[in-house]
Structure 1
Amino acid sequence: MHFKLIIVFVEDDKTDLVLDTSREYGATGATVINNARGEGLKTSKTFLGLTLETQRDVLLLLVEEHLSRTILEAISKAAEFDSKPGIGIAFQIDVEDAIGVMRQVEKLTPIVEEEL
């Protein structure tokens, strides 16, 4: 079984929405890294030398490759990434090898066989 890593940078108020959506579409878990900071095309506003930014989280989802595109699109739609700038971004990268995922493989095998 082959995997992809979906990496999501999202405003913290949308983290639970992204997690719920990814599970609904086949993700078996995620790692959440809190307190991330990012900058887009425009620099952040400041007030008395303090930067005014919304809190961001980074989500790492190791998903089966046949489910990855569907999960990625569902996350984008649910979190409304394309509706206005600065909401978040998500992308996927290939994973050459993974260990410690045998329980996920057991759960995903029937689902992937159904898809194929």
Structure 2
Amino acid sequence: MHFKMIVVFIEDEKTDAVMDAARKAGATGATVINNARGEGMTQSKTFFGLNLETQRDVILFLVEEHLSRHIIEEINKVGEFDDKPGTGIAFQIDVEDAVGVASQQAKLTDEVKEFL
């Protein structure tokens, strides 16, 4: 079984919605890293030295490769990445090897049989 890692940088108030959408699309779990900071093409605004940016989370999904495109599209819809600039970004990376996912493989094998 081959995996992809989907990395999502999202405003913290949308984290739960992104997690729910990814689960419905086939993701079996995620790791959330809180308190990330990002900066886009324009420099962030400050007020007397205090940053006015919204807080961001980083979400890491390890997903089966046949499900990855559908999952990332659902994340994009919920996160509104293409509709509202500056709301976040998501991308996927090939995973060469993974351990600790044996319990998920049985569930995923049934889900991806139609792709094989």
Shorter-chain TM band: over 0.9
For 1:73, the equivalent position in structure 2 comes to: 73
Gaps of 5+ in 1: none
Code of the aligned partner of 2:28: T
- CA shift digits 1:10-39 (9 cap, x unpaired): 000100010000000000000000000000
The size of the alignment, in residue pairs, is 116
In structure 1, the residue matched to 2:82 is: 82
SS in 1 for 2:63: strand
Instruction: Mark the runs of 5 or more structure 2 residues left unpaired by the alignment.
Output: none
| SS of corresponding position for 2:94 | strand
Residue 89 of structure 1 and its aligned partner are, at CA, apart by 0.2
Q: CA RMSD in A?
A: 0.7
Give the match's secondary structure for 1:63.
strand
Partner of 1:11: 11
In structure 1, what is the Cα distance between the partners aligned to 2:53 and 2:79?
Answer: 18
The TM-score normalised by the length of structure 1 is 0.97
Report SS of the residue matched to 1:86. Answer: coil
> In the aligned structure 1, how far is the partner of 2:35 from the partner of 2:61?
18
Sequence identity of aligned pairs in percent? 71
Task: Find the aligned partners of 1:59 and 1:22 in 2 and give their Cα distance.
Answer: 11
**Any idea what SS the aligned residue of 1:44 has?**
coil
For normalisation by structure 2, the TM-score amounts to: 0.97
